[in-house]
Amino acid sequence: MVSAYYQQASVAISGVREYFDKTVKPSVREKYSFVVEFLQNPSVIGAIVPTGNAAANLMIRKITEDTSKKELRILEIGTGSGSITKFIIRLNKTFKLDAIECQPKLAAIVRQMVTDAGKTSLVTVHEKMVQDFYKDHKFDKDHKFDYIVCTLPFNSFPPDLVKQIFRQMEDTLLEEDGEISTIEYMFIPTIRLFFQKIYSLYDSEPYKKFKAVQDAKEAFLNGKKVETDITFWNFPPARITHAWKVKKD
């Protein structure tokens, strides 16, 4: 019974999506597609709306401020519908961008965005999970990235996967002096931990799992040079963290 309703709702959503695809301008369509993907895969998408312009620009602040003349190699992980990608591809810099997105419909939107901007020679869109991108990239020692812009929804991942992705980003994908930018909603993790702590009177697993994810994120930042940006011009307000790889002697 429930699955029949779910099927009907999915058909209705697909119908509305088709109508939007034909009639609505791209920027609205991108946001709409993102929300639809969230409704269908909440834990994979991890945010109900795309990152706003203010937070998107803060996510690429260190790239914008980079004054070196070399070609910058940028990796964006979890492009969604391209809310940050659109600013990267407009950069007035010499760059190469690899953009990863695992949801086919969102990857297609980003691919179209890149084509419309005439940047196909500078940008490669990888429709895959970052874990698979890592495997393919593992032995490509000459192509590491100067910047990684990562908006993966770590809070919905298992703690071991969070640790694994941070380790792979730092050890294999990032240049020696490279920098990783990540984003986190302000207050939400603290509020979630608080309620999960209360709920742990009945079941302690959700609290333990979420706490382990927060610990894994903190452990990644430990001992690194870190800069933080905050913006209230985002829904919800966001904290952006820029962290530099620790140089190995």
Is the CB of 151 or the CB of 241 nearer to ligand SAM? 151
Measured over the CA atoms of residue 162, residue 247, residue 227 and residue 146, the dihedral's sign is negative
Q: Are 92 and 115 in contact (CB under 8 A)?
A: no
Name which position in 29, 63, 74, 79 contacts ligand SAM (CB under 6 A). 79
Q: Given the structure tokens 């990888």, which residue do they identify?
A: 126
Name which position in 58, 89, 106, 238 contacts ligand SAM (CB under 6 A). 106
Q: Tell me the C-alpha distance between 82 and 114, whole Å.
A: 9
Q: Are 172 and 134 in contact (CB under 8 A)?
A: yes
Name which position in 33, 151, 234, 241 contacts ligand SAM (CB under 6 A). 151
Residues 6+ apart with CB under 8 A from 128: 100, 102
At closest approach, how far in Å is the CB of 45 from ligand SAM? 5
The DSSP-derived string for 182-199 is: EEEESSHHHHHHHHHHHH
Q: Tell me the C-alpha distance between 176 and 196, whole Å.
A: 38
At closest approach, how far in Å is the CB of 218 from ligand SAM? 20
Name the residue type at position 192.
R
With 0-12 / 13-18 / 19 or more C-beta atoms within 10 angstroms meaning exposed / middle / buried, residue 206 is middle
Q: Tell me the C-alpha distance between 180 and 76, whole Å.
A: 10
Is the CB of 8 or the CB of 43 nearer to ligand SAM? 43
Site for ligand SAM in 27-46 (CB under 6 A): 44-46
Position 168 contacts ligand SAM (CB under 6 A): no
Is the CB of 119 or the CB of 197 nearer to ligand SAM? 119
Q: How many residues bind ligand SAM (CB under 6 A)?
A: 22
Q: Tell me the C-alpha distance between 81 and 103, whole Å.
A: 10
Name which position in 101, 146, 179, 229 contacts ligand SAM (CB under 6 A). 101
At closest approach, how far in Å is the CB of 223 from ligand SAM? 26
Name which position in 60, 84, 114, 162 contacts ligand SAM (CB under 6 A). 84
Position 159 contacts ligand SAM (CB under 6 A): no
Kindly list the residues in this chain that would bind ligand SAM in the complex (CB under 6 A): 44-47, 50-51, 78-80, 83-84, 100-103, 106, 129-131, 151-153
